[in-house]
């Protein structure tokens, strides 16, 4: 997926046979299209407290656009290396992409860290939440695509509204994709209905403001069709009655 400058890129590594002897480190480099290094450094990952040595988490704020390559190095049990590549764009695809925090506002219970007994939501998604920030970012991308596919280019006065609609849709996808109880499905359905209704209102208002429609057939003129004219009645032979009456059309075929 594509991240934007300023996004926090969550990094997670799972070492299937990891144990107390396992250790990890992360180095990174960001390069432009020509291969020039724009940024580099190290990140310190932390192990999960629920499966010591197996799950490791880290995060890095994207400071420049380009290709970010993260190299995990595992020592001890499960030793080896693994690469993770993230693409960072200088500009977002649309100016109204909702943030992780804006999605979290609709599903705060999903932001409670999974590795702690505390019940306090973080009100954002990161490597400690389920789903994590990377997964939610992909759901946000899907929600944004859903809005643009329906509405097309959004008028600038409706950016906040479009952002909210996409956030509600993404929150619904979070509940749908990671159900933990029956109530999650109900919450998902409620949010999906709310998002659908909000999208319809957004689409109508956007059409009025932009004087356009995303429906390819909406602005077409009527295409009327008629059969070719026939001159049969006009070219039939005429005859004059034998008694000098006026000529008339003949239906006798001569």
Residue 50 to residue 132: CA distance in whole angstroms: 16
Q: Is 48 left (phi over 0), alpha (psi -120 to 50) or beta?
A: beta
Contact 106, 125 (CB under 8 A): no
Contact 48, 20 (CB under 8 A): no
Q: Which CATH number fits domain 1-91: 1.10.287.3510, 3.50.50.60, 2.40.160.10, 2.60.40.10?
A: 2.60.40.10
Task: Detail the DSSP E strand segments found in the chain.
Answer: 2-4, 8-14, 23-31, 37-43, 46-47, 55-61, 66-75, 80-89, 238-239, 248-249
What pLDDT does 253 receive?
46
Residue 132 to residue 58: CA distance in whole angstroms: 11
Residues of the chain where predicted confidence (pLDDT) is lower than 50: 235, 240-241, 243, 248-254
Pairing of strands 238-239, 248-249: antiparallel
In sequence order, what DSSP letters do the residues of 141-164 get, joined into one string?
Answer: HHHHHHHHHHH-SPPGGGHHHHHH
Contact 6, 61 (CB under 8 A): yes
Residue 76 to residue 64: CA distance in whole angstroms: 33
Residue 38 to residue 232: CA distance in whole angstroms: 82
What pLDDT does 222 receive?
55
What pLDDT does 87 receive?
87
Q: Can you give the residue ranges of every domain in the chain? A: 1-91, 93-214
What pLDDT does 243 receive?
47
What pLDDT does 78 receive?
94
Residue 13 to residue 83: CA distance in whole angstroms: 10
pLDDT tens sequence across 28-49: 999 988 889 999 999 999 998 7
Phi (first) and psi of residue 178, to 5 degrees: -130, 60
pTM, 2 dp: 0.59
Give 5: exposed, middle or buried? Use CB within 10 Å, 0-12, 13-18, 19+: middle
């Amino acid at each position: 997926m594509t991240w934007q400058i300023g996004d926090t890129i969550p990094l997670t590594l799972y070492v299937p046979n990891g144990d107390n002897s396992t250790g990890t480190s992360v180095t990174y480099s960001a390069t432009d299209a020509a291969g020039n290094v724009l940024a580099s450094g190290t990140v310190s990952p932390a192990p999960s407290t629920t499966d010591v040595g197996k799950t490791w988490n880290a995060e890095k704020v994207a400071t420049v656009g380009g290709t970010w390559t993260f190299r995990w190095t595992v020592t001890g049990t499960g030793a080896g290396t693994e690469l993770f590549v993230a693409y960072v764009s200088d500009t977002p695809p649309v100016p109204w992409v909702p943030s992780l925090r804006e999605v979290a506002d609709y599903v705060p219970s999903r932001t409670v860290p999974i590795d702690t007994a505390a019940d306090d939501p973080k009100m954002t998604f990161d490597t400690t939440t389920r789903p994590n920030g990377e997964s939610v970012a992909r759901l946000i991308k899907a929600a944004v695509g859903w809005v643009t596919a329906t509405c097309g280019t959004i008028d600038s006065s409706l950016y906040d509204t479009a952002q909210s609609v996409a956030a509600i849709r993404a929150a619904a996808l979070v509940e749908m994709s990671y159900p933990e109880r029956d109530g999650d499905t109900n919450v998902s359905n409620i949010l999906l209905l709310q998002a659908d209704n909000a999208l319809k209102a957004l689409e109508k208002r956007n059409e009025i403001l932009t004087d356009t429609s995303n429906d390819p057939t909406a602005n077409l003129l009527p295409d009327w069709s008629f059969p070719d004219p026939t001159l049969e009645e006009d070219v039939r032979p005429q005859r004059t009655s034998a008694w000098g009456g006026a000529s008339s059309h003949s239906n006798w075929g001569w």
